[in-house]
Amino acid sequence: MRNALLATLLAPFLLACGDDTVNYSAPVGINVKLRSADVTGDAVLLAKSINTEQGNPYGAFVNAAERALGRPPSRIVVTYLSLELLGTSTVTGLNQVFTGQVSIGFDLDGFVRPVGTATNPVGVGVPMAVSFDSAGLDPVAFADLLGGGFPVVLSGTATPAFSGGNETADLTATFGFMAYK
């Protein structure tokens, strides 16, 4: 009985030891300032390089992943993504900014790769459905991803009040990145 209990308690650790997958995870945030003047018709399309945040958190993630893995990652996955409206905005809810689908993607090698979406977001923060895994990227796009100089692209449809007004929406997109050996 004691050996069975010990085996049950140690099973997760033993399985992890037998698995040669080494990974590293960290959150990375990027701030985007959206103004009514940025909207064309009702279309929102903003791009901001991921390495422009103070302290370059994405670059820090890649460097820490390389140290933890002992080599550059062979694969990077986004495990979660959230979109948050900051208190410095003139609007009080995401539903005052967006209607329909809001998308975030990475522009890698000239092509925007989908990362996450939310439909009709409300409140000040929403989780987004995530769809990014670098496993299918070509070598040039993957080199862009590791290099960290790529734009994050925010797109969606603005509400008539936002697109026709003089509003601001200061947004933070927070990515949960996982790097694999």
Of 17 and 80, the one with more pLDDT: 80
pLDDT of residue 21: 61
pLDDT of residue 3: 37
pLDDT of residue 13: 35
At which residue do the structure tokens 């070509």 appear?
138
pLDDT of residue 11: 35
- Answer whether 39's CB lies under 8 Å from 169's CB: no
Average pLDDT over residues 91-97: 98
pLDDT at 2 over 70: no
pLDDT at 51 over 50: yes
pLDDT at 4 over 90: no
- pLDDT tens for 8-31 read 333 333 333 334 466 999 999 999
pLDDT at 96 over 90: yes
Q: Please report the domains of the chain, with CATH numbers, ordered by start residue.
A: 21-180 (2.60.120)
